Each structure stands twice: as C-alpha cells, then as structure tokens.
Amino acid sequence: MATAVKNVLIIGGGFSGMSAAIELRKRGVAVDVVEIDPGWRSYGAGISLGGATFRAFRQLGILDEFLKRGHAADGVDLALANGIPIGSLPTPRLAGPDVPGGGAIMRPVLAEILAAATKNSGADVRLGCTFTAIEQDESSVQVSFTDGQVRQYDLVIGADGLNSAVRSHVFPGAPSPAYTGQGVWRAVLPRPAWASNAKMWIGQHLKVGINPVSKEEMYLFLTEDRPSNEWIDPNSFLSALRDLLTEFPAPEVAELREALTPASQIVYRPLEGLLVDRPWYSGRVVLIGDTVHATTPHLASGACIGIEDALVLADELAAHETLPTALVAFQERRWERCRMVVQNSGRLGDIEISGGDKEEHARIMRESLIALAAPI
C-alpha cells in the first residue's frame, strides 16, 4: 500500500477528528490527537442520523455499539401542525439490508463510542491541549503545543469545528460562520409508545420533530425563525418552548408539551452556516468537517459529511505516494457532496423563514436524500 504520510497530527477530537484518527490508525499511520477540552465533553441533546452515516459507522467499526446504545428505524413521517399526515420521507437502508435507514442517539453517547474507538486504535490523545504555532516547509510541519512540547509531522488535520483556530491560522481570509435567521430548540423526553421512528410536524414558519434516541428516550426539536441572534436567558427556556409548541394542535405534540419539565435538558442554539471555497488545504495542513462545511441541521447530515471526510482522506492518503496528489484527490471527492448538503440545507431554512413554497421544500429534501445515498 502506498502511503503519502507516516505520522499525522489531528487538532480537534470531535466526530470528524476522532473518525480520522480511527481510519488512519487502521492504515498504520502514527496519529496524535489534541483536544482543547480537558473533559472531552460533547454537549446537546439527540443527533439524527441517516443511512449514509450508518454506512460510515460500519466502516469505522462502531455500528454494533451504535445499534446497542442508540436507536434505528425506517422512514420519517410528516404531518401538518394539526396532525394530519402528509406523507413520509423514505430512508434507504445504506448500511445493509439488516440496518434501518434512519435513527438517532444522544450526542454524548455517540462521542463516548467514538472516543473509546479512538483510544483503542492506538492514537495518542492529549486532552486540554492545543497548538500555539504551526510552521511548515517542504518536508515536514512543526507544531508547538500549549503543554510546551514541539513535534514534527508529515500532515496536520484541522478538525476543530465551526470556529476553527486552524482555519484562521492557515486561511486568515476565509469567511466566518454566518447566522442563518433560525434557531433550534431541543429537549429530551421519555419516549411514548407511539414514538417509534422520526416524525415531523410542519407549521407555517415553525417545524417540530421527534426522534427516539434509545429504548427509553427521545429528543424533540423545534426550528424557529428569529431575525436576530440575541442571547436567550436559560431560565426562560421551558416557558419559551412551551409557548412555541402551542402553535401545534396535533395531539402528539400537545402530549409532549405537557411532558416538558425543568429536567428536560432544554437547549437553544442559533444556527450558523459556513462553506469555505476550495482549496481545503495549504501545503501540509488540511481541513475537514465543520471547519470547512458547517451545515444547518435541515438534512441531519453535518456529522455524516464530517465523518465521511475522514474516511475519504484516510483512503486517499493511503492510495497515493505523494501528499499533494492525495490532498487534491480528497478535495475533489468531497467538494460537491459537502457543497450540496450546506447549500440545500440553507435553502430549506430560507423557505421555512419566508413561509415559502412547500413543494420546493419537499423536492429539495427528496433530491438531497437521493444524492446522499450515492457511494462516497
């Protein structure tokens, strides 16, 4: 096997960075990971995932653990705000005939599964640590760290997310994340018997959804348009979410509204999007995941495309003798798919904000899900 690199530093231990570590270790590459959070925590409620993500989980070797601790089911049921059904989105079984095409899991549980696989891979993980300087020449890249160490690498992978310090360092002129005009409320609730798969209720501007995250629990999300990105007092979260849910007379939504309590782990997050134009690398530093393509959650595919970046990058690094050819091949394989997810998700948000054409919304959802089913 040709391999363009022997040792790699990954900056950022999120879903994308951990996946890169696991895949590179499988190919015999020495991997260091630095993660700025000393507790390596992951915040938030549930995360919805589709067949393409499960296909990636299978390759990573974490699918069985996901199926044990998360939840998988076929189809997304759609209804109007009053509960009248309007159809369902198909979720093709991309990870194999035995694995449903959709599902969800609590974010911290997925992070725990990936962290265990990263440690087992033999990657050297340093928590509470980041870079202070990155200097490269033709033959290597030298990185200084906050713990005082200085190490040499063949390649640095920036996987430090939406507000990436690696991106600012390598591409100081890159665009910054932009508020999209929507925010998402999420909460975790006990799972009623009827909540067996993902469901969404579509209002004029607001959208509510649920997805089971385990045998016992589900998460609820509500997408709201807000002209400005102001801070919301967490003490008001429960009453604010309850008020928004009153716009949905559907009996199931009313039942969930009643079930909300101060213990429902309610969070609010303004949505930001970012698509960095190519190139996604400079010399011996390459960017993956949210650092270059942070999508709003309308297609529930942000984690998916970041994890896929990791699989494809490891593939191309192993398939090429030289780093520049590997990085060009990586970027060319990833650009169109990631562009499609970010821009189509953005368009779905715009349609929701303007109360626009529901048929266009449904068409974009359908076309995007078909495109995501294509092999990577």
Q: Closest approach of Cβ 35 to ligand FAD, in Å?
A: 5
Tell me the pairing of strands 178-190 and 71-73: unpaired
Q: Closest approach of Cβ 249 to ligand FAD, in Å?
A: 26
CB 177 within 8 A of CB 290: no
How far the first Cα of the chain sits from its last, in Å, is 20
The two tokens of residue 49 are 């995932």
- The residues of the shown chain that bind ligand FAD, judged by CB under 6 A, are 11-17, 34-37, 47-49, 130, 159-162, 165, 184, 269, 289-290, 297, 300-304, 306
Q: Closest approach of Cβ 15 to ligand FAD, in Å?
A: 4
Q: Of 36, 27, 21, 32, which Cα lies nearest the Cα of 114?
A: 21
**Distance between CA 49 and CA 336 in Å, rounded?**
20
**Distance between CA 364 and CA 109 in Å, rounded?**
31
* 3 or 265: CB nearest ligand FAD: 265
Q: Closest approach of Cβ 178 to ligand FAD, in Å?
A: 13
**Distance between CA 98 and CA 164 in Å, rounded?**
38
* 156 or 320: CB nearest ligand FAD: 156
* 160 or 320: CB nearest ligand FAD: 160
* 290 or 352: CB nearest ligand FAD: 290
* 180 or 320: CB nearest ligand FAD: 180
Beta-bridge partners for 330: none
Residue with tokens 């992070």: 111
Q: Closest approach of Cβ 301 to ligand FAD, in Å?
A: 5
* 78 or 320: CB nearest ligand FAD: 78
* 73 or 162: CB nearest ligand FAD: 162
Q: Closest approach of Cβ 127 to ligand FAD, in Å?
A: 9
E strands in 166-309: 178-190, 198-202, 207-212, 217-225, 267-275, 281-282, 285-287, 293-294
Q: Diameter of the chain by CA atoms? A: 64
Residues listed for the chain: 376
**Distance between CA 364 and CA 376 in Å, rounded?**
20
CB 25 within 8 A of CB 174: no
Residue nearest to ligand FAD (CB): 14
Q: Closest approach of Cβ 84 to ligand FAD, in Å?
A: 25
